[in-house]
Amino acid sequence: MNIPLLRRLREARGVFIPLAELGTDLGRVRGELDELEAFGFVLERHPYRGVAYQGPAGQFCPDQIEFELDTQRVGRRVAVWSRVTSTNDLAARASGSSANDGLVILAEEQSAGRGRRGRSWMAPAGSSLLMSVLLFPPATLASAGWLTALGAVGTAEVVAASTGRDARIKWPNDVRVDGRKIAGVLVERGPGAIIGIGLNANLARDDFPGALRESATSLRILLGEPVDRSELARALIRRLDHWYELGRSQGPETLATPWRNRSEHLGQTVRVTTPSAELVGHLDDLDLLQGLTLTLPEGLRHHVPLRDLLALGPADAGPDDAGTPGRSGG
């Protein structure tokens, strides 16, 4: 597929481009446009005015995702599936070989998508970004907390960039806009580490089950129009690769500031669960590697080391009350 041609058309944003501006061999240009249309890209063709891009293909386009991706590790290989049990399952299967480090699995649909705490993750076929990344991290980056933060920061950045909205991380794994969940991260391990990300891309309000209609959102709802999921996948792969390579070269603390800056809880009154107590207080600091510091109602400052942090959430909610039992945000 001619991806530079596709880009040229996309960048014209619906404006007609005469075929002669797309190449000297008009027969060849027509053939390449046919190929784009056959894949599913929506083009308007006019005998005199040329061709105008009207919209993305309904399915992920691997060529579009991989073209000039320029990442170090994440996305070295991108595998796109139409229907799987869970993209995390496929990544787990590939984890037998470290040659698959950086492999990205994408699916249009999951028959048994998983969320945290045994919840399911449901999304209508073709509506979402369902992605798993397989990594073989060094010990310094291998904790579930760090890898979850990697997925959450990368996703929040992509949500913010594509909507212009403030995307925040609700500890430990939700990405939310205005308090509504738009994405979730599920880290699982085998021989490697798997970062599974579900991002609500093109779901309409009615696509969410009743219980989630108020608590969840999607890019389409925020933008008022569908998004190009291949471009979204590409952007997410790039942000994940950026933070992961920075972590590898300069240490896990490189992710601490972006993670803290996107926290939904910092500066709020929160409820924290530790093995020995449930505490309510003002969250003064949140550190990805060290844990958190609270000011308790009686004015005492209290540090909770990371290893003791079992739950963190708003004070007026129960411990870790993300979503509805049995369903997650997708």
Residues that bind ligand BTN (CB under 6 A): 86-88, 110, 113-116, 119, 121, 130-132, 173-174, 184-186, 196-198, 328-329
Task: Give, in order, the Cα–Cα distances in Å from 220 to each of 3, 42, 126, 159, 202.
Answer: 25, 18, 13, 11, 5
Report the C-alpha gap between 45 and 43 in whole angstroms: 6
The CB-of-86 to ligand BTN minimum distance in angstroms stands at 3
The CB-of-134 to ligand BTN minimum distance in angstroms stands at 12
Cβ distance to ligand BTN smaller for residue 87 or 100: 87
The CB-of-324 to ligand BTN minimum distance in angstroms stands at 11
Cβ distance to ligand BTN smaller for residue 41 or 208: 208
Cβ distance to ligand BTN smaller for residue 57 or 322: 322
Report the C-alpha gap between 146 and 200 in whole angstroms: 23
Cβ distance to ligand BTN smaller for residue 119 or 220: 119
Cβ distance to ligand BTN smaller for residue 14 or 326: 326
Report the C-alpha gap between 195 and 185 in whole angstroms: 7
Cβ distance to ligand BTN smaller for residue 162 or 328: 328
Cβ distance to ligand BTN smaller for residue 185 or 309: 185
Instruction: Give the CB-nearest residue to ligand BTN.
Output: 184
The CB-of-105 to ligand BTN minimum distance in angstroms stands at 8
The CB-of-188 to ligand BTN minimum distance in angstroms stands at 8
The CB-of-133 to ligand BTN minimum distance in angstroms stands at 10
The CB-of-292 to ligand BTN minimum distance in angstroms stands at 21
Cβ distance to ligand BTN smaller for residue 267 or 318: 318
The CB-of-110 to ligand BTN minimum distance in angstroms stands at 6
